Structure 1
Amino acid sequence: MQDSKLAVSQVYKVFGNDADGALRLLQQGKSKQEILAQTGATVGVQDASFSVKEGEIFVVMGLSGSGKSTLVRMLNGLIAPTAGQILIDGEDVASASPAALRRIRREKISMIFQHFALFPHWTLADNVAYGLKITGVPKDRRRARALEVLEQVGLAPWADSLPSDLSGGMQQRVGLARGLAAGSDILLMDEPFGALDPLIRREMQTELLNLQQKLKKTIVFITHDLNEALLLGNRIAIMKDGRIVQIGTAQEIVTAPADDYVAAFVADIDRGRVFTADDVSSPATTLQLRQTSVRDALRMMEQGGSNALYVMDGLRVAGVVTYQQLAASEMDPSPTTTLQDALITDFPTADATTSLSDLYGAAGSGLPIAVTDDRERLVGVVEPSDVLAHLSGDAGAEIPQDKEQAHAQPR
């Protein structure tokens, strides 16, 4: 955890008068319900451990009562943990003095809630600058900073408007701007989009991802919505009854759920939003336009079990050729003599981040999809069968880490 911005180690929170007794029962393996019956104490969080790297969006997901909101409030000291350690840049929030805790909140961490709680008679700029005001920042600097972050969230033209002039989604952007204004490295976001209607909620999710590309904040995001967790999280922690039952990437959680509880969560998930071209692509076996004969191309396809291969003209993708077309030409009285004659130049392409949902139409061409980088160089291919297999959930237990091994067998 040494390279982590935030590190949580064996954190517990017990509500009630007999917290020590409840902790002893937890260590003996008693359940949350048994402890409540024996001591009257409620276990909010038990044995939570995780780390968050700088610039990561770490999502904590769980149903109501799972402990996720209690956990996030311990991260900035709003709730004191019963036991455990919470390190921010190596400094322990759990044991910090009141003065140190105030400094950490002021300098290192900001919190954004579901209910934005804007002052109704203050302008947007004044609302955004509120945190700076209470820390003593001069008025002109507060104003300048507020305008800067309102620009970042697309609300600069409304700087002098009142919250009542805005839609719910726009008001939540003000709440986000207020969190950004302090310049904190860490943002804690407790179900910030939960009160928004689905369309505005998706817009705000996209807005957050766009902002994160520029700002590279360390974000702990709380949600009860698995689709939201899978969309936003670099990694996701799933909680149940105060415990973290699994931590992983969206792909790891969907393809290899830790237990039946997680499996039930992901059973009906839209896999097309979870997996990308990069997850299912394989290294591209290619042909050189001017150096490879038709006969050699056919031999390579037979040896590799491929129905089609991409053809390169130097470093540039010239097109794709299919086995069927090349084989047919060999039997023709006037056979195709070069790859150029059989070249298909209208071929499907995608970048590595393209979702499988967006690849579905391209897979209908029957041709392998060329995965290209920002310089239009070929970095891999996606077979149509892989797109369909992953969308249907029939692609196997997990995404292999070594894609060369994953695609070694002939198709």
Structure 2
Amino acid sequence: MEESRPVKIRVQDLILIFGKNKGHALEMLKKGNSKNEILTKTQCTVGINCANFDIIEGEFFVIMGLSGSGKSTLLRCLNRLIEPTAGSVYVNGDNITRKSHRELLDVRRTEMSMVFQKFGLLPHRTVLDNVAFGLELRGEKKDIREAKAQQAIETVGLHGFSHQSPAQLSGGMQQRVGLARALTNDPEVLLMDEAFSALDPLIKTEMQDELLGLQSKLKKTVVFVTHDLDEAIKLGDRIAIMKDGIIEQIGTAEEILTNPATPYVEAFVKKVDRKTIITAGTLMHEKPTVVRFGKDGPEGTLRKMRTTGLDVLPVVDDQQVFMGFVWVNDAVQSAKREEKTVQHILLTEVPAITTDVTVEEMLPLISATRSPIAVIDKQSRRLLGIVSQNSLVIEATRFNEQDINTLKEYANNN
């Protein structure tokens, strides 16, 4: 994610308490009392406990946790469908927690739209009228709102269904109508609360793919709530994991998986298939020792190999562009022939990948070659690092038996 992009939503010290004695409960919370202690003494429930985070413009931000963790409650605080007890929510730098009811309605109609788990379609209206409903509430003329609604219907892949009733549509199609209705207002922020959890698995996967496709084109800021870790990993640029109203950790799927912040997060992600998440960027050895083509001959290459204890080194040109690998046995023979360059022993038919390639995608590469895997910049092809077979073998200890057998087969053949 580009850090240069502006902050779209900023949440500061956000607290939500349910119950009649909120003042006393808030005092206890600020003094460090636990959720259970507050419930026992005040009969109040802490829904959100001092949440602080930023969401970047254009980011797909996922809030996840088990039932009762506070994820949907937090989402509803972002547009004040639920009124926070304390703290602030800024949208485009504007504190919406201080807005009047009329000003807040304007924010919801123009800047933020919401898609619920329950589709919330009006059964007596057509698909077109359902999608145009928000614009109707905004007071837009019929021809304008229907044109915008039809465009949104086309965007979500419901061409030809404008005049159907919701009852004539499948669950997945109804959810598309709900998504189209949210998009019709052309919101800057799209809030989605368990939007796909009521769908059958196959339809759910289709809707996830559809949403990712839309996001790649529309570049909205999306805040998506789910209890499904696989869904969070698939959709989210970053994920916030919640427990008992507390945000335990925020990070990319890879950051959370490789460096869980709490025992709860570690237990939460324990069964995740790591090979689909861990990437070359995490495993690679940065700034490896290299052979410089045109400068290092076979003798110089052998000296570097003796110094590093390695029997294979990557070769780069004077711009650090990756060219291939040289092996120790080949360098020895080349030195005996008194060759001055590594040109004749350079192996160029070797794997070269970018930092976002996963372990799952790397496994077939190492089973088909004896070389390490070079990690390069996509545009310039400059060498960024090296993924060794050893690092993959270490990571493979977390994999299933089939993956380990693949690596063992590589080891036996090389």
Q: How many residues align?
A: 391
- The answer to whether the Cα contact below 8 Å between 1:326 and 1:336 also exists between their aligned partners in 2 is no
* Cα distance, 1:77–1:308 mapped onto 2, change above 3 Å: same
Matches of 2:252 and 2:166, distance apart in 1? 37
| 1:274 aligned to which of 254, 277, 281 | 277
What secondary structure sits across from 1:52 in the alignment?
A: strand
- Unpaired runs of 5+ in structure 2? 400-414
- Unpaired runs of 5+ in structure 1? 395-411
Q: Which residue of 2 aligns with 1:149?
A: 152
| 1:297 aligned to which of 288, 295, 301 | 301
Q: Which residue of 2 aligns with 1:223?
A: 226
What secondary structure sits across from 1:55 in the alignment?
A: coil
Query: In the alignment, is residue 255 of structure 1 matched against residue 258 of structure 2?
Result: yes
Matches of 1:340 and 1:311, distance apart in 2? 10
Deviation of 1:80 (Å): 0.8
Query: In the alignment, is residue 180 of structure 1 matched against residue 189 of structure 2?
Result: no
- The answer to whether the Cα contact below 8 Å between 2:322 and 2:376 also exists between their aligned partners in 1 is no
Compute the RMSD of aligned alpha carbons: 2.9
Q: Which residue of 1 aligns with 2:57?
A: 54
| 2:235 aligned to which of 222, 232, 237 | 232
Deviation of 1:231 (Å): 3.0
* C-alpha distance after superposition, 1:62-84 (max 9, x if no partner): 11001111111111111111122
Query: In the alignment, is residue 134 of structure 1 matched against residue 137 of structure 2?
Result: yes
Matches of 1:171 and 1:220, distance apart in 2? 20
| 1:366 aligned to which of 347, 367, 370 | 370
Matches of 1:68 and 1:369, distance apart in 2? 40
Matches of 1:107 and 1:246, distance apart in 2? 31
User: Greater shift after overlay, 100-109 or 79-88?
Assistant: 79-88
* Cα distance, 1:217–1:285 mapped onto 2, change above 3 Å: farther
- The answer to whether the Cα contact below 8 Å between 1:336 and 1:342 also exists between their aligned partners in 2 is no
Q: Which residue of 2 aligns with 1:30?
A: 33
Q: AA paired with 2:297?
A: S
1:179-218 matched pairs, under 5 angstroms: 179-218=182-221
* C-alpha distance after superposition, 1:324-366 (max 9, x if no partner): 43335556xx787753433333322323322222112113233
Matches of 2:278 and 2:18, distance apart in 1? 40
Percent sequence identity is: 45
Matches of 1:388 and 1:201, distance apart in 2? 34
Q: Which residue of 2 aligns with 1:12?
A: 15
Matches of 1:351 and 1:383, distance apart in 2? 15
Q: Which residue of 2 aligns with 1:325?
A: 330
TM-score w.r.t. structure 2 length? 0.83
- The answer to whether the Cα contact below 8 Å between 2:322 and 2:383 also exists between their aligned partners in 1 is no
TM-score w.r.t. structure 1 length? 0.84
- The answer to whether the Cα contact below 8 Å between 2:90 and 2:96 also exists between their aligned partners in 1 is yes
| 1:246 aligned to which of 233, 244, 249 | 249
What secondary structure sits across from 1:12 in the alignment?
A: strand
| 2:312 aligned to which of 296, 308, 315 | 308
